[in-house]
């Protein structure tokens, strides 16, 4: 695959093209192509995860005088799988991944983690190929630019906390959660939970735990009320 178009998107010209390519190789691809000349991206991901955390930590420490707890929450919101997958999509990483036929068809939650892992692997590859300063610039240009929005919209809080804060501020009501439906055996239950403002059923969420269903209900409620 010619990755020159991808290099233009990420604004980095690699010295070692194999490093760039390896960052995009999911292990499923090697299962179908065992003779491929490169290994999968998991070791690069391991490295990139550490580099990303270092650059983000250094940046927020130097630029924000907030408490350790706040900085930790901001960093977590910035480097979680959902955020990294969103950034990977924006950089068109999905168009250049080396995936098995089965993985290529799956566009659900599993793809989100594949994209997030590939972005971390790409960061590891940039670090090895270009050094710390270049990878810092890449992270600031593509990832740290999300931080002001995270802080402004309080995206570092979980949806339940955000919805409760908004509900109390706007209408003076503390949300309540109720299980509307549950099914499945004890080891594999599923739940639908509704979030209420007094008698008003604002939204519902489904999950494999009550906590997950509540989080999804709260996120749906934030969107329905346009309180994001």
Compute the distance between CA of residue 148 and CA of residue 110 in angstroms, rounded to an integer: 28
Active site (annotated) includes residue 49: yes
Q: Do the Cβ atoms of 168 and 174 come closer than 8 Å?
A: yes
CB 128 within 8 A of CB 47: yes
CA angle 204, 209, 212 (to 5 degrees): 55
Alpha-carbon span 145 to 149, nearest angstrom: 8
Alpha-carbon separation of residue 144 from 47, 91, 148, 171 (angstroms): 19, 14, 8, 34
Active-site position among 45, 103, 117, 120: 120
Q: Is 120 a catalytic residue?
A: yes
CA 121 to chain centre: 14
Phi, psi of 196 (to 5 degrees): -115, 145
Catalytic residue among 49, 103, 129, 215: 49
B/e letters for 30-45, b = 16+ CB within 10 Å, e = fewer, are beeeeeeeeebbeebb
By three-state DSSP, how is residue 192 classified? strand
Supply the Cα-derived Rg of the chain in whole angstroms: 21
Q: So which residues are the catalytic ones? A: 49, 120
């Amino acid at each position: 695959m010619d990755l020159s178009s991808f290099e233009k998107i990420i604004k980095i010209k690699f010295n070692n093209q194999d490093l760039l390519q390896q960052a995009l190789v999911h292990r499923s691809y090697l299962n179908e192509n065992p003779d491929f000349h490169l290994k999968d991206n998991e070791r690069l991901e391991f490295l990139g995860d550490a580099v990303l955390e270092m650059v983000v930590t250094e940046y927020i420490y130097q630029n924000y005088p907030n408490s350790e707890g706040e900085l930790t929450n901001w960093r977590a919101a910035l480097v979680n799988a959902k955020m990294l997958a969103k950034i990977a999509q924006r950089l068109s990483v999905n168009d250049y991944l080396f995936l098995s036929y089965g993985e290529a068809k799956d566009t659900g939650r599993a793809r989100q983690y594949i994209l997030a892992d590939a972005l971390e692997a790409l960061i590891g590859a940039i670090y090895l190929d270009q050094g710390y300063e270049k990878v810092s610039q890449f992270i600031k240009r593509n990832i740290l630019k999300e931080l002001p929005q995270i802080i402004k919209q309080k995206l570092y809080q979980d949806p339940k906390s955000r919805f409760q804060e908004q509900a109390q501020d706007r209408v003076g009501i503390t949300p309540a959660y109720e299980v509307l439906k549950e099914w499945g055996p004890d080891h594999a239950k599923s739940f639908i939970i509704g979030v209420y403002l007094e008698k008003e059923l604002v939204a519902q969420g489904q999950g494999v735990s009550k906590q997950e269903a509540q989080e999804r209900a709260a996120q749906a409620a934030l969107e329905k009320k346009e309180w994001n």
